[in-house]
Structure 1
Amino acid sequence: MTRTRIRASAPDQACVDAVDLARAAAQELASPSEVGDHLGYEGEGDRIVTHYFTCLDRAYRGWRWAVTLTRASRAKNVTVSEGVLLPGTGALLAPEWVPWSERLQPGDLGVGDLLPTADDDDRLVPGYAGGEEELDQQMIFEYGLGRARVLSSVGRDQAARRWHSGEQGPHSPIAHAAPAQCSTCGFYWPLAGGLRQRFGVCANEYAPDDGKVVAADHGCGAHSEAAVMPPSVEQATPILDDLGYDLMEDEAGSVDESASEELGHS
């Protein structure tokens, strides 16, 4: 078996010598003041050479102008093929692009937005599998007759950790000040399935978490068994009359002499 040897051709000398043409092309892309020293050249192929120049724009430090020159076969004139601004060593670059599915955060979904779910999402399993829920009527309904996919054990555990550590969990300020836990509240509606022992829905229209999933050890001041405090009675401020005198009688029925003298002088 013979191997074909490929020999790299030397850069075209006419394209290598056309530094002034490449510089003029770079100055057309920006301005003469933004094109610096010639950094060298690189052969790209037959009669194709790219020249590099320093970029003096302060907003693009570490970048360089790249102008590619070429020459047609048997032609003497060198022409400009393209010119671009490329990053060099130490150039400031944008962060690596992240797919939207990885950038999406809870609460970003708005009205009319669609959030497709991947077929291999580990939070879901086929409906006939039933996840790790009990083989009850819910699974029988979902066996080919209801949802195509249901929550997997991974998705269930992620949701449980997220809910338990959130504002509707036991560590929120309102839960610390609550008189009792949600699990003992009459408005607590437990969830079905494997999360029944840990979470439920608040059904108290006056509670801050009405209609939301709350942890069994969460709580708030709208607990159904919260003690009713009697209304406080405001005490009236006494009125002092310092413009007159009152006659005070002793046990013998006589008027105090000091009071009589003061009345006589008044």
Structure 2
Amino acid sequence: MILSIEELSIAGRERTIVDNVSLAVREGEFMALVGQSGSGKSLLSQAIGQLLPPNLHAAGRILFEGSNLLERKPKEMRALRGSRISYIFQDYQGAFTPFRSIGAHFNEYQKIHGEKSSTVRRNRAAEALESVGLDPILLRRYPFQLSGGQLQRASIALSLLLSPRLLIADEATTALDSVSAHRVLELLARKQKETGCAILFITHDWRHVRRYANRLSVMQEGRIVESGGKHRILDHPQHEYTRKLIEAAPILGRSLRSGIEEETR
């Protein structure tokens, strides 16, 4: 396992928000974490990188490549984030400072993680943009000069720049229309095959789960209520909450109802 979350709880002063969650992500797989807004999915993803708000505390174990991330010092986590663990957030525009060029972002990202050669940094940035279908000339431009789709692809290129072993995509397609979301996920799936990284894909959209995930876990009110292979859960959900979520998805709901009718004949 590249990532193993064991009995993780996240709590504030008044209540526990994520309660005794265990979750595993295998090397090279596309793992989906599914649930409605407010179920604790994003907080779980933030705990992995020690990105929780200061008023929240995480307890348990988060093992990444055998090391408990909750015991890592902030300096160690800063070195890990971007190099071994990388994020794509819903607000991809937030990855870029408006008054700095795209190239400056790629350059600084590499300098922070120890790349001293300016030539290597420049060439790697150009190759990263080309790998997501963008012209390297965009390195000279500023974020406001790129379209939303270009900026989203640039943020993916930046997140994959240093070949992380784990990519966490937290509602990365929520703000996109269906066509743009499909393009982004196709790009992620292709880059995953090229690099061999594992993806933890956090979403509430079952269409994307059905198309891209290998395995999935379903989260409700801070707890994992069901985990398993994609086909098993989509075809034969065991938990009532999972069944309701699938039934609420138009295409999946029809398929599930048809399956139930076949079984009862």
Class of the TM-score when normalised by the shorter of the 2 chains: under 0.3
Greater Rg over alpha carbons, structure? 1
Structure with the largest fraction of helix: 2
Higher strand proportion: 2
TM-score by length of structure 2 reads 0.23
Q: Which has the higher contact order (CA 8 A, sep 6+)?
A: 2
